[in-house]
Structures are given as structure tokens and as C-alpha cells.
Chains A and B, each alone.
Chain A
Amino acid sequence: MTTRLFGEPVLRVEDVKLVTGRGHYLDDLGHDALAAAFVRSPHAHARVLDIDVTGALDVDGLVAIYTYEDLVASGGAVADRLPLLIPHPALHAPRTGYPLARDEVNHVGEPVVMVVARDRYVAEDAAERIMVTYDFLPPVVGVAAARAADRCVHEDVPDNVAAHLKQEVGDVDAAMAAAPHTLELDLSIERSASMPMEGKGVLARWDAAEGSMRVYSSTQTSTSVRAAVAARLGLPLSKVHCIAPMVGGGFGVKIMHPWPEEVLVPWAARELDREVKWVEDRREHFVSSAHERGQLQTVQVGFDDEGRLLALDVRFWHDNGAYTPYGIIVPIITSTQLLGPYKPGAYRVEFWSLYTNTVIVTPYRGAGRPQACFAMERTMDAIAESLGIDRAEVRARNFITPAEMPYDHQLTFQDGRPLIYDSGDFPASLDKLKKLVGWEQTLAEVEAARAEGRRIGVGLACYVEGTGVGPYEGAHVVVESSGKVKVATGLTTQGQGHFTVFAQIAADELGVPLADVEVVTGDTRRFGYAVGTFASRAAVMSGNAVALASRKVRAKALRIAGDALEADPGDLEIVDGVVRVKGSPAASIPLATVAVLSNPLRYAFDEASKAATQFAVGDTSGPPVREDDEPGLEGTDYYSPVGATFANGMHAVVVETDPETAEIKVLRYCVVHDCGPLINPMIVEGQVHGGVAQGVGGALYERMEYDENGQLLNASFMDFLMPYASEIPHIEIDHLETRSPLNPLGIKGAGEAGVIPSAAVFASAIEDAEGFVITAMPISPSELFELRRRHVAGDIPSLRRAGSQRAGPDEVVAQDVVEAQTNQEKPT
């Protein structure tokens, strides 16, 4: 047997290309294309009164200026509101924007005018000279303001509520009333964003002679962009192709589509009969892509003397920004994934998705789960604190056990299907984590360090992640007459390592060397049916589709080889690209020859192909292509699951806070992760590393600083603080590999895992270090300093478990408060 590649840390086949500058990202294409730039709204909420382009008309190199009126004049669907991608009955007031603002703008950055010019410099010169007159409207900024509804974003949605959804399992009111203990928590979590290194970008080539459009987009779903472009431009689907070239990160923001630019750039290319390109710059990305995470939450929990949940009543208010093109997927995920590995007792969750005059909210890696995990894990810590029980123990007491799998929560998940956990061994995961951390010993060390006046805390957080949601993905696998295997799948790649893992799967199934397999993703010319890359689904969905398609090819190869070798296909194996009889390897035929024989020929095109020509084949008893057969050694298959497969993980972090400066330092970060059998452990660990890095960013550094006027104050990498490598701790990882019963490979998704528990685990650790309750994330040193002052002032309760040794540093803070107050009294 060839060494099985599944499970091996195979080096990524794409990296040589990527690290030697041959990756061909969007902006590496279309050097001769005209460049587009946009005049975007400088106001969060305003009516567009007038657009005066006269000042721009004499800019040398200007090609075209388009406003909403031009879209209308061109006819067709291009002037329509952008689509509501995922309708939901609870989304009673959906609103989407226009490709170019019609009468009103609802966030800073909304596109108003499109400029096409010789190059991007000229396009920006012209854009700068276009004068737009606005009539200001009062903006709604932040969840609290949206909830208060003193002002509204959309005139016809006076309460700012886009959607209201409630799910209840059991009788929460009765269970809560009967519970021996109850607690209430008010929590909040801030916005961050995907922030891929490469922003969005679109290049369109119109072929007037063919009436066909080729669109390159830095997207997570080329098939759906293709469909949207065809619909908006009134083109047959067969005349539109969309290709996602190498994509420099997506993290969710590029699953949202069609972006205004994805409609406008192809439209302009057709209008002008010229190649047109738009490449998003970083400032545009901050104000005209998407953010996520902003929520206010209240949790009421009832529990028994042992800390077991009896009733859980969660309400939250979700900031969906100015429009709801992606529906309410994010809050639905929050409301269902909140339960994590626990049995909640009676559960009621209710959310309101609210409009604000800020950038739209669509999934960002984790997609509602970091908020969910924050709510649940803050609750677990609060129960532990309230009863004086070890935090790990409280969690263990509430776990769903392996014997209870599959576990039906009796809720509806984000895919419209029942929320049923397929497998998982949460007690084993926790045991692994405690062992990895050295839980008891670490807690003892922390106590000892505190006795020396240091502020060290340990945090813990658990999550369950529904991965690999449907509806489906497919794959096409062909063995060419060279013996090389070409694999195509429709979903797209943003750097995850798909070219490697899909090749591993195909190579294993077909018995060929890895180097003989080449994978193509996200190119509608190669595979037209697909959904996209999101929800940690690529490995599960396309991985299984590649396996199934490869198995079809393998079966066909064995049948053809069996005929050639006069052997029973069941007695054959494929090793290193050669089909041979098990036990007598001399009786063999190369897979390449099998591929030749699979395609009966009249015309030979090379030496090898002569074997398939009409006077070379012996058997003339039946038609050259048998009934129910097709020429070619190829196969297509699809994987469509009944529901998501649920991965899980548990993280622990040890932090030290500076008693004086309130700086937060990560001493250790430990991850136990269970995504089923690992196709490539190195790639999975890379996913975890990247997720943790984004999680550290979201917990300690990043936030969207909107002022009361809806201006984003930190719309650059100078002030929006993504962590550098220097801010990311060493990450210790252990794996559990609990198979999924749902798919042939038994695998679960891993893409979002690392980021989900970050806010929760850091809140837990900082709370432990500081000795007072943390209810809002992210947290910066300045904020921690202010929290310390409020704690000293009695506004924030101490933890009961906070020992007397905490008094030392607190006194230091107390002095500061006096000083600060003294200082404030000084005349300024």
C-alpha cells in the first residue's frame, strides 16, 4: 500500500507559488484595465440632494462618471436594490442598499458615485472633484441608541428592529422560578472585522463579440457572484464566468456578495466595452465592507446547588448595521451556539437585530459564536463564583455526555435544520485541557504569585461549533491520459491549504502520488455548482465530495483495468498510479493507460493514445462506449449532509496584568481542539494559530471606534490595532479526534475554531487576575485602569474568591483614584 496521506502533516503544495510571488491575486491581473474609484458618503446618515461632476470633467484620463441615474438609464436590474441573500420569516423589515446611493446614504463609506479612469490615481483625482450636496439626518450609532429608537435609520422602520426571533425549549419561567439559585448578567461585546490582508477586488472582461462576461473577484463564492452578475446584467448564466484567483484572506467578509462593486464593475465593463478593475484600499475596506460582533446581552440563569443549569433565559440586541443583505445568520448562530457543550435545562433565547448608521454586519470568522461563547462562559464563571466551585468542575457538571450523542437541542440552527450535535466527547476534551494546562498546579502557582503581589489569572472557555453546513458541495475528478489527476471543486480558497488537503484525499482514494494531483477551486469554468467557503465547511463539504468523486473514478478505473488484465476488479489495487492484481504485482496497467482506454478514439494524438483507437481495441461485441457508461476516466459527485457536524474546543489562558500600568500580558495559551480525524495536522494547527491570533486581537486590541456622528475614528491600520506577531503568545495545542457519523471521512470543520472562545477566555482570566467581574470585551489597558477605579469606588463587585492578598494592589489603585480626583479638581 502507498503510505496514507490522510492524517500526515504534508507540506502545503501552494506555498512555493505563494511565497515566490507567483500567486496572482486580483490586483496581479488586468494590468491594462481601466481603474474604478468611488465617491463614498462622508456622512453616516443623509439625503443626497445633488451631485455635481463638472469639476471632474477636465481631469486628463477620465473615462466615465456614473451615478444612480445612469444605472436607471441603462435599464434592467442593475439599478435594483441589492439582493436579500438569506430571507427569514423573523426578518420582518429587511433593507438592502443600492449599488450606488439612490436618495439616501446610511453609513459613512456607502458608494455614491463611480469613477472610471485611466488608472487609479486619475480616478481618485476625479473623484475628489465631484461635489455631492447632502442634507444631514441624525445618525443612529451603537446598539443602545438603536434600541432606544429616539431616531431611526430607515424612515419606515421607526423602532430600528429588522428582526425579532424567539426560540424556547421547555418552560423557562417555571424552571427559573423553581431554581434554588438565579443570577443575572449584563454583557456587551464590541465590533471588530475580518480584515483580510487583501481587500476586496473585481476585474471584469466583457467580450462583446461573444456577449460573454468574465469576472474575477476576490470572493469566497464565485458561483454565487456569477449568478448575481448574470441576474443583474440580464445575461444568460452560460455567458458569465466568475473566477476567484488567489485570495489573500477572507475570514467571512468575502462570503457577503454581491458587493456593489461586483455588480458595477462588470456593468461598467460592458457599458464601456473595456476591461475595468477595482481594487479596494484599506480605508475603503474599513468603511464599506462589513464588521461584526457588536451585541448587548442579558442572561438570567437558574441553577441547583451543584451548579447544574435548570433554566437559561437569554436576550440580546444585535447591531446589524445599515442594511441586512446577509439576513440574520449571525444572531441566529449566537442564539443557538450559545449552548456550547452544555445542557441548558429549559432554554429561551430572544434577539432583536437592530439597524444602525454604521457599516453592515455580516459573518466574520466565528460568526456570532464568539459573542455566544462570551455569554455562556461568563455565565459558567458566574455560577462557579457564586457557589465557590472550581470553574472547570462547574462546566464538567453541565456537559452533554458522549452517551447522550447525538444530542437534539430542539432548536433550529442557521441552516434551517434541527440543532443536533452529531458527536463529541466533552469530558475527554476537558480532561485533555486540564492536563495540558496542569490545571490544579497552575491554580496553585497563581495563588503563590498573588501572594507576592503579582496579578495573575487563569481563564477557561469551552465552545461547540456547527461546521460543514449544507446545502452541498461537489467535485469533479479526472485522470488525464498522462496519468495526472485534476480535481475541481466549486468552493473557493483564501489560503487555507485546500490545494493540499483535497489533493491528499484524492491521492489516497486513487492511489496516486500527491504530486500527480492538481486542485482547482472557485473557477466556474471548471465547476459550476457550489455554495461557497464559510462556516468551516470546505474540508467537510468539498473534502467529502472529492472523496466520493474519486471513489467513482477509482471504481471505473478498476473496471476498465479488470477488463484489460482479465481480472476481477475486486482483486485489484492502485499503488503509485499503477493498477495491479493484489498479490501478483506483475499483472499491472498504469492508471494513465486506463485513462487512455476509457476514451475510445478514432484519432490518435500521441503514442499512448494509439491504444484506444478503433483498430487497436479487440472487443467489438458491444458499442465502444457501453450503455450507462461515459467516455473518460472521470467522475463527479456531491456531498450534501442532513445537518451540520459539530466540532468543539476548550481554551485556557494565563494572563498577568501590571498592577500599575494595567498592561495585559499573556503568559500561556492552551487549546484542546476536536474536529474529528485530522486530514493534515499541520494545517489544522495553522488554522488554530490564526484563529487564536484573531481572537487575541478581538479580545485585547481591536474595536471599531465610531463617534456619535457615525464617523469611524480608527479606519486605518495605525489606529485599528491588529496584533503583530509580537502580541501573539506561544500556543500549546492538543487534539481529540472524535469522528463525525455524518460524512464518509468522519471529519469536522476547523476554520473558525481558534477565534471563538477568545473574548470569553480572556474575560475569565482578567477577572481572575483582577478579582472583580468583567462584563465587556474587548479590554485595553486604559479600560482596565478605568475598571479598577470603578471597582475601588464600589461600582463593580469583587469576586468572592478574591482573597485578602488582592488588597495590596487595590490600595495602590485607591491612591491613584484620590490623585486623579485631586487632579481633576485643578483648574484647567
Chain B
Amino acid sequence: MKPSPFAYTAPSSLDEALAVLAEVGDDAKVLAGGQSLLPILSMRLAAPAHLVDINRISELAYVRVEDGGVRVGALARHVDVERSTEAHTVLPLLRQALQLVAHPVIRNRGTTVGSLAHADPSGEMTAVLALTGGSVEVVSSTGTRTVPAAEFFLGPLESAVAGGELAVSAHFPSFPERTGTAFVEVARRHGDYAMCGVAAAVTLDADGAVVSARAGYISVGPTPVLLDLTAAVSGASVTAADWAAAGELAQSQTEPEADIHATADYRRHLVGVLTARALAEAAGRAA
């Protein structure tokens, strides 16, 4: 379990990094927190010819409230986002989700943008990006493009970041007024990838009736799944809403697969149970 040989560059500025990436293209992997990349290298599941370490590009280490949401730079660690009071005030879902991301030591090192670019459909932040309708800013030596969540996750471990590009930030828009959010999941052990996880957002009108109920799912498909479940609970009060019906609606729209930890039916069952729990919890916070 030792990596294959690779060349290593540690640029100290974004421009320098983009120049290196432009030069080595598809043969490069970007090293940020390394929490997924290093095990993959050590197990020789990947053998990139070049590692571009962005840890010295301090200009990318930020968490900012901007454009009606939270913008997270490529070098912001999960813990920075989790602990940011400003981010939490604008978008509580970030902290709700991040507390479920692995363990503190991993959050101390792993980066939020890195986990998005890794595009593991079990990663909590993929569902958060999907549910918030967020986007990722991708830069190369030839320009910048903003990729919306719906177009960012292409498949398991496959994102829209192309060779020569660097995901420099992610933007998570905040929700409308009277919206509550929650993230619930079932994992085998504390901090494990979830067998099913649900990010939920419920918006109420001034009278306390549900006007929107939406959920983002991890571990039930090749990419994060986003569902609008409003139809099952529209117009109901928080206490009268049939959250289980929303869960059933979600079940009917997901096709999870089996792995060694959970059968497909069990995952589908969890989709129903956790949808109901997450929506109820979110609605409780909206009220």
C-alpha cells in the first residue's frame, strides 16, 4: 500500500496552479485535504502522474457570506465551514450536514470543495449542494465557468471538473424565509458513509402551511438525488402534514442499489423512513 511514483508540485498562487494544471492536464490530480485521494493512491487504485498540491494557496482558504448564500473556497476545511457562525446563520443546513461528515480529525483536514469535486454520491455535501441549488466555480488557464449542482455530478466519483481545471469555490444559496432544514442519515458506525442520508428543506407560508418540501439524498444513486415532495404535504400544517406520505413519494422515485452494507430494499425503506423524519424535523425548525 504505497503509491506509484508521481511528480509533485505545490504552487503558492492560483495562477501558478492553473499554469501547472494546463501543462499536465488529465495526468494530474489536485491534492487538497487528501482524505479520499491518499488512500486511493496508496491502494494503487489510481496512479496519476502528477499531484498538484493546492495547500499553499491561502487565497482559497475562506468561508464567506455572499450573493444570498455561503461561498466556500477550495482550501476551506470542513471544520472551517462547520464552525463558521456567519455561514450557520445564513444556512444552518451546512453545519447540520457537516456534523455527519466522517470524524473531527477528517473534517479538520478534508475540504468541502474537495469532497464535492470527488463526487462520491455518499458524501453529505453533494446533497447539500443539490438541495440548495448551489454551484461550483471551475477555473482554468483559459477562463472561469460556473457549474450548477444539477450539472456538476456526472456519476460516481465523476464531477464536471475537467483536466486542466480547478474547482476554486462552491456557492450554497440560502433558503427563503420560513424555511427549516435538517440532515438525517443512517450509517453503520458513527461517522461512516451513510447507507442512506436525507437533506431536507421545508418552507411554510405566513399561516404555517407547507408551501415547499424538498429533499436531497445520498447513497441511493450514482449522484445525489434531488426530489420535490411538496405534492404529498402541500398546504398542510406542520403538525398535520403526512410526512410518511412524502416518504412514500420519495421511495417511488428512487432506485437504490445493494452493496455489502445494505440491501436495495433496505435502502429504499430508509428513504421512506428518513424522508419523513428529515421533513418533520425541518418543518419543526421552519415553524
Chain B, residues 183-217, CB within 8 Å of chain A (1/0): the string is 00010111110010000000000000000000000
Shortest CB–CB separation between residue A664 and chain B, in angstroms?
Answer: 11
Verify if A53 is at the interface (C-beta below 8 Å from B).
Answer: no
Verify if B4 is at the interface (C-beta below 8 Å from A).
Answer: yes
Contact A120 B2 (CB under 8 A): yes
Chain B's closest residue to A789 (CB) is B265
Verify if A701 is at the interface (C-beta below 8 Å from B).
Answer: yes
Contact B273 A128 (CB under 8 A): no
Question: Which residues of chain B from 98 to 157 have any CB-CB distance to chain A below 8 Å in the complex?
Answer: none
Contact B248 A721 (CB under 8 A): no
Cα distance A781–B267 in the bound complex, in angstroms = 11
Contact A124 B189 (CB under 8 A): no
Contact A727 B189 (CB under 8 A): yes
Contact A121 B186 (CB under 8 A): no
- Contacting residues, chain A, for B262 (C-beta < 8 A): 780-782
- Contacting residues, chain A, for B5 (C-beta < 8 A): 121, 125
Cα distance A785–B268 in the bound complex, in angstroms = 11
Verify if A714 is at the interface (C-beta below 8 Å from B).
Answer: yes
Cα distance A724–B187 in the bound complex, in angstroms = 13
Chain A's closest residue to B273 (CB) is A660
- Contacting residues, chain A, for B255 (C-beta < 8 A): 828
Chain B's closest residue to A820 (CB) is B265
- Contacting residues, chain A, for B273 (C-beta < 8 A): 660-661
Question: Which residues of chain B from 245 to 273 have any CB-CB distance to chain A below 8 Å in the complex?
Answer: 248, 251-252, 255, 260-263, 265-266, 268-270, 272-273
Contact A719 B260 (CB under 8 A): yes
Question: Which residues of chain A from 106 to 147 have any CB-CB distance to chain B below 8 Å in the complex?
Answer: 120-121, 124-125, 128
Contact A724 B2 (CB under 8 A): no
Residue in A120, A660, A701, A782 whose beta carbon sits within 8 Å of that of B195 in the complex: A782
A interface majority secondary structure: helix
Contact A716 B43 (CB under 8 A): yes
Chain A's closest residue to B255 (CB) is A828
Contact A721 B192 (CB under 8 A): yes
Cα distance A828–B252 in the bound complex, in angstroms = 11
Verify if B83 is at the interface (C-beta below 8 Å from A).
Answer: no
Please count how many residues in chain A sit with their CB below 8 Å of the partner chain's CB atoms: 37
Chain A's closest residue to B248 (CB) is A819
- Contacting residues, chain A, for B7 (C-beta < 8 A): none
Shortest CB–CB separation between residue B168 and chain A, in angstroms?
Answer: 29
Knowing A780-B261, A785-B269, A820-B269, say if A661 contacts B186 (CB, 8 Å).
yes
Verify if A723 is at the interface (C-beta below 8 Å from B).
Answer: yes
Verify if A186 is at the interface (C-beta below 8 Å from B).
Answer: no
Verify if B64 is at the interface (C-beta below 8 Å from A).
Answer: no
Residue in B3, B39, B252 whose beta carbon sits within 8 Å of that of A121 in the complex: B3
Verify if A663 is at the interface (C-beta below 8 Å from B).
Answer: yes
Chain B's closest residue to A718 (CB) is B39
Verify if A281 is at the interface (C-beta below 8 Å from B).
Answer: yes
Shortest CB–CB separation between residue B113 and chain A, in angstroms?
Answer: 22
- Contacting residues, chain A, for B252 (C-beta < 8 A): 823, 826
Chain A, residues 171-207, CB within 8 Å of chain B (1/0): the string is 0000000000000000000000000000000000000
Chain B's closest residue to A703 (CB) is B260
Chain B's closest residue to A725 (CB) is B190
Verify if B1 is at the interface (C-beta below 8 Å from A).
Answer: yes
Cα distance A721–B192 in the bound complex, in angstroms = 9
Verify if B56 is at the interface (C-beta below 8 Å from A).
Answer: no
Contact A781 B260 (CB under 8 A): no
Chain B's closest residue to A826 (CB) is B252
Chain B's closest residue to A120 (CB) is B2
- Contacting residues, chain B, for A662 (C-beta < 8 A): 266
Verify if A486 is at the interface (C-beta below 8 Å from B).
Answer: no
- Contacting residues, chain A, for B3 (C-beta < 8 A): 121
Verify if A350 is at the interface (C-beta below 8 Å from B).
Answer: no
Cα distance A663–B269 in the bound complex, in angstroms = 13
Contact A121 B263 (CB under 8 A): no
Residue in A282, A660, A726, A786 whose beta carbon sits within 8 Å of that of B1 in the complex: A282
Contact B189 A701 (CB under 8 A): yes
Contact A820 B190 (CB under 8 A): no
Knowing A701-B188, A726-B189, say if A820 contacts B268 (CB, 8 Å).
yes
Cα distance A128–B270 in the bound complex, in angstroms = 42
Which of A705, A713, A820: most chain B Cβ within 10 A? A820
Verify if A271 is at the interface (C-beta below 8 Å from B).
Answer: no
Contact B260 A705 (CB under 8 A): yes
Residue in A660, A721, A820 whose beta carbon sits within 8 Å of that of B188 in the complex: A721
Contact B270 A713 (CB under 8 A): no
Cα distance A721–B260 in the bound complex, in angstroms = 11
Cα distance A701–B248 in the bound complex, in angstroms = 29
Knowing A726-B189, A780-B261, say if A121 contacts B2 (CB, 8 Å).
yes
Contact A726 B4 (CB under 8 A): no
Cα distance A701–B274 in the bound complex, in angstroms = 22
Which of A282, A724, A782, A823: most chain B Cβ within 10 A? A782
- Contacting residues, chain A, for B44 (C-beta < 8 A): 124, 128
Cα distance A718–B259 in the bound complex, in angstroms = 13
- Contacting residues, chain B, for A816 (C-beta < 8 A): 269, 272
Residue in B2, B188, B269, B272 whose beta carbon sits within 8 Å of that of A780 in the complex: B188
Cα distance A283–B192 in the bound complex, in angstroms = 19
Question: Which residues of chain A from 662 to 681 have any CB-CB distance to chain B below 8 Å in the complex?
Answer: 662-663
- Contacting residues, chain B, for A782 (C-beta < 8 A): 195, 261-263, 266
Cα distance A780–B43 in the bound complex, in angstroms = 27
Cα distance A713–B251 in the bound complex, in angstroms = 28
Contact A786 B263 (CB under 8 A): yes
- Contacting residues, chain B, for A781 (C-beta < 8 A): 186, 188, 195, 262, 266
Cα distance A663–B187 in the bound complex, in angstroms = 9
Cα distance A718–B260 in the bound complex, in angstroms = 12
Cα distance A701–B192 in the bound complex, in angstroms = 12
Cα distance A660–B196 in the bound complex, in angstroms = 13
Cα distance A781–B5 in the bound complex, in angstroms = 41
Question: Which residues of chain A from 703 to 724 have any CB-CB distance to chain B below 8 Å in the complex?
Answer: 705, 713-714, 716, 718-719, 721, 723-724
Chain A's closest residue to B258 (CB) is A782
Knowing A724-B190, A781-B186, say if A786 contacts B266 (CB, 8 Å).
yes
Cα distance A123–B266 in the bound complex, in angstroms = 43
Cα distance A661–B268 in the bound complex, in angstroms = 11
Knowing A660-B273, A780-B188, say if A823 contacts B2 (CB, 8 Å).
no
- Contacting residues, chain A, for B270 (C-beta < 8 A): 661
Cα distance A282–B251 in the bound complex, in angstroms = 38
Cα distance A128–B44 in the bound complex, in angstroms = 10
Shortest CB–CB separation between residue B110 and chain A, in angstroms?
Answer: 14
Contact B1 A281 (CB under 8 A): yes
Knowing A782-B263, A819-B248, A823-B251, say if A721 contacts B189 (CB, 8 Å).
yes
Shortest CB–CB separation between residue A146 and chain B, in angstroms?
Answer: 21
The 6 closest A-B pairs by CB, nearest first: A726-B190, A281-B1, A782-B266, A782-B262, A121-B2, A660-B273
29 pairs from A and B in contact (CB 8 Å cutoff): A120-B2, A121-B3, A124-B2, A124-B44, A128-B44, A283-B1, A283-B43, A701-B188, A718-B39, A719-B260, A719-B261, A721-B192, A724-B190, A726-B189, A727-B190, A780-B188, A781-B188, A782-B262, A782-B263, A782-B266, A785-B263, A785-B266, A785-B269, A786-B263, A816-B272, A819-B251, A819-B272, A823-B252, A826-B252
Interface residues of B (CB under 8 A from A): 1-5, 39, 43-44, 186, 188-192, 195, 248, 251-252, 255, 260-263, 265-266, 268-270, 272-274
